[in-house]
Amino acid sequence: MTDPLTTNIHWGIIGCGNVTEVKSGPAFNKVANSSLVAVMRRDASLAEDYAKRHAVPKWYSNAHDLINDPEINAIYIATPPKQHEEYAIAAMQAGKPVYVEKPMALDLAACRRMEQVSKETGVKLVVAHYRRALPLFIRVKELLDQQAIGNIRFARISLLQPDQSAMIAKTGNNWRVDPTIAGAGLFYDLAPHQLDLLIHFLGKPTSSIGLAVNQAGLYTAEDLVVGVAQLPHHVLFNGTWCFTTPEGNEEDLFEIQGSTGSLRFAVFGHALTIERNGIIETEKFQPPQHIQQPMIGKIVQYFLGNADNPCSAADAIQSMEMMEQFAYGSQSPSK
């Protein structure tokens, strides 16, 4: 009998919450050689509702039951970060490749354990830094590879958002600002996208350090984080993440300054500004309906053995290292 993994990927989703409704869930049925077979949520009625609305054949209220379903040969984990390690390791030990949401896990130590299990079992593991597969960021990488703005001098990120920002996904129990469930609050929720792109564009930092505080006291997690790093070729980076700025003062800026020009864009936007020789150009990009679909297409081909890993555990660990150094410094819980 032909191994089904060589011909088609039959997905199971663990954690079919709001993030999967449009961003990812429907895309599994729109990618070639891919289908969504089952979903899981601890509330069985919500799992059933999701399955019926999305025409998914099966639903579960227990993650391990889904992992052990013989019809499923790949697992997408979209739970809060606290559960990523447990479910990813269980899936890999069951021989099923894993696509896990960002941040990869609750902390760096958990990420490294997941990577080790992938190496020991030989089972594939991909992390959901899906923005690198979107046209805007493919274009940025292309321009940098072409040295379109010369030799890179510095890069900076500024993410300033009010507490009630529409950018920040809301949940009933607000788990994103509970460090025991999400790591380091909204910083760990949003910065993975930005720092993964930084490393994807400019390389792994040679050193990094930061500070984090809770100024407003609205929750237990940090609400202001600053970090600096040195990247290859003596490129310097600085970043600021503040989640209590006043309405009207929002900013989502990623800037890369070179010797002959600059690139500016919003990581959570769809436009790129290119400045060269005093000339400013703006390129706009249409995001896909399901923002993870391009990445899922790459993952399916990787799982089928036809392509390289689009974002490995080693890749994701690099940005997790930066986040821990920025948020915790020498007091990292993984050290």
Per-residue pLDDT tens over the stretch 71-101? 999 999 999 999 999 999 999 999 999 999 9
Tens of pLDDT, residues 220-258: 999 999 999 999 999 999 999 999 999 999 999 999 999
CA distances from 15 to 39, 40, 61, 249, 297 (A): 7, 6, 9, 34, 20
Residue 300 near residue 10, CB atoms below 8 Å: no
Q: Is the pLDDT of residue 335 over 50?
A: no
Tell me: cis bond preceding 103? Omega within 30 of 0 counts: yes
Q: Is the pLDDT of residue 277 over 50?
A: yes
pLDDT for 331 equals 41
pLDDT for 32 equals 96
As beta bridge partners, residue 39 has 13, 59
User: pTM of the full predicted structure?
Assistant: 0.93
Q: Above pLDDT 70, what percent of the chain?
A: 94
Q: What is the mean pLDDT of the chain?
A: 93
**Domain 4-130+291-310 belongs to what topology?**
Rossmann fold (3.40.50)
Residue spans of the domains in the chain: they are 4-130+291-310, 135-287
**Domain 135-287 belongs to what topology?**
Dihydrodipicolinate Reductase; domain 2 (3.30.360)
Bigger pLDDT: 170 vs 247: 247
Tens of pLDDT, residues 179-228: 999 988 899 999 999 999 999 999 999 999 999 999 999 999 999 999 99
* Phi, psi for 128 (deg, rounded to 5): -80, 55
Tens of pLDDT, residues 121-165: 999 999 999 999 999 999 999 999 999 999 999 999 999 999 876
Look at the chain and count its residues: 335
